[in-house]
Structure 1
Amino acid sequence: MFDFLQGTLSSLGRKYTMAVTGFLLGVFLLIHAVGNSFVFIGKDAFNAYAEQLHSLGPLVPVAEILLLIIFLSHIFIGITLFLKNQDAAGSRYAVKTSSGGETWGSRTMPWTGLIILAFLLLHLFNVRFVDQILPIADVVEQTLAYPLYTFLYLAGITA
């Protein structure tokens, strides 16, 4: 057990943990996007999907807590790795070259992560933490009736 913990806390272990938590978050976002795409079929289909999810009862809060742990772990480890890399780099190089397999995606990952985090918070405040009187399809329709929210949702989904 100690070896596992020690390995996880190493620089390489943290990078593996970032990869695993990032993969899990990506899988969640993909599944969630597929479920939310029921809104394009119609209000009844989307409401039925939402009711099916809520029928899982206590599994929903358990899943939400696990997702929160995964999100917070990913964010915390990402920040610590970033700061550690900054310390190790010292001063900036005079010439910036792309080496070591660095891609546009890997260079922009911190920014797309921040956009996704902002989008997630916007989504939670617009859909999850609202009065549950209206059917969810109506809540989504009312939210997207505002052009700014529509733009922010499109930006978040694109990220």
Structure 2
Amino acid sequence: MLPQQQAWYVRPQDRRLDMDKLLAAFQQFFRENADAWIERFQYKEAGPQLLLQAFLQRIVNGGGRISREYGLGRRRTDLFLEWPLDEAQGFLGPMQRVVLELKILHKSLEATIEEGLTQTAAYAEQCGAQEAHLIVFDRRPGRSWEEKIFHRTETIGGRAIGVWGM
């Protein structure tokens, strides 16, 4: 894995993780390394999720926590990140909560995003996350990285959700 340092992604003014900066760094990492890493996983659908979790874990370790398949009633979000905003209070104090919902593109891009946005917004609402991101992995052969990589913000029910393609 590429060397990453926690300090690069923690905003000094409020101790929040800069998720846009972190996910943009992951986009580049994924672009450079996905082909070599994804082939190592027997279950190809899990590969992108495990790579993202491993990448985030290197930053979050020692400060916050990442839960995989975080249970929300009868549903589960793919990754749920919790980051304490007050070092002295830790997990008992104010928290940054981030929902990360991951999708492998099987339908059209717009149908995948539409379905994913509804799901991501519901998860964020249920667990009280201030931030939510939908990450779409386009594993179709013959697609250039310029076609796969994007970032935009969508709003659903008054909630802004970062949508990332890779």
Q: Could you tell me the TM-score, scaled by structure 1's length?
A: 0.32
Larger Rg: 1
Higher relative contact order (CA 8 A, sep 6+): 1
Considering fraction of residues, name the structure with more strand: 2
Q: Could you tell me the TM-score, scaled by structure 2's length?
A: 0.31
